[in-house]
Structure 1
């Protein structure tokens, strides 16, 4: 089974938070409302490359989130 690159998650212990989980390297959990990111993998490489990679990942994650929210609203 291949996991999707991004997953959307919530937790009843933190009902005001919603999380995006990136399942591929570099793995992270992003609290989308709190804007906190927990990196699960050590980031390796040149600083400039890392900055660009992280910025691209966050843009892709945000696009995923917006798409998922639109789909959920359409189902409601």
Structure 2
């Protein structure tokens, strides 16, 4: 099965939150409401420093993904 890079997550326990899940390395969940980021795997300190810029770009990409998906469903 080919998984997409991003998924949108919804949870009735957190109706105000907007979760986007990134499924490629580094896997993470971001809450776009407050940009809180949770990595789904252990990342050592050296890798975290190396991934800092890439993670920033991925967060921006996650936000664009959500905007694109929202527009798709609004126009449907």
Question: Do both proteins adopt the same fold according to a TM-score greater than 0.5, normalized to the shorter chain?
Answer: yes
TM-score by length of 2: 0.85
Structure 2 distance, partners of 1:26, 1:46, is: 10
1:30-73 Cα deviation digits (max 9, x unpaired) = 111132111112335372x3221111111211111110111111
RMSD over aligned Cα, in angstroms? 1.5
Number of aligned residue pairs: 74
2-side partners of 1:67 and 1:28: how far apart?
Answer: 19
Gaps of at least 5 residues in structure 2 are none
Q: TM-score, normalised by structure 1?
A: 0.85
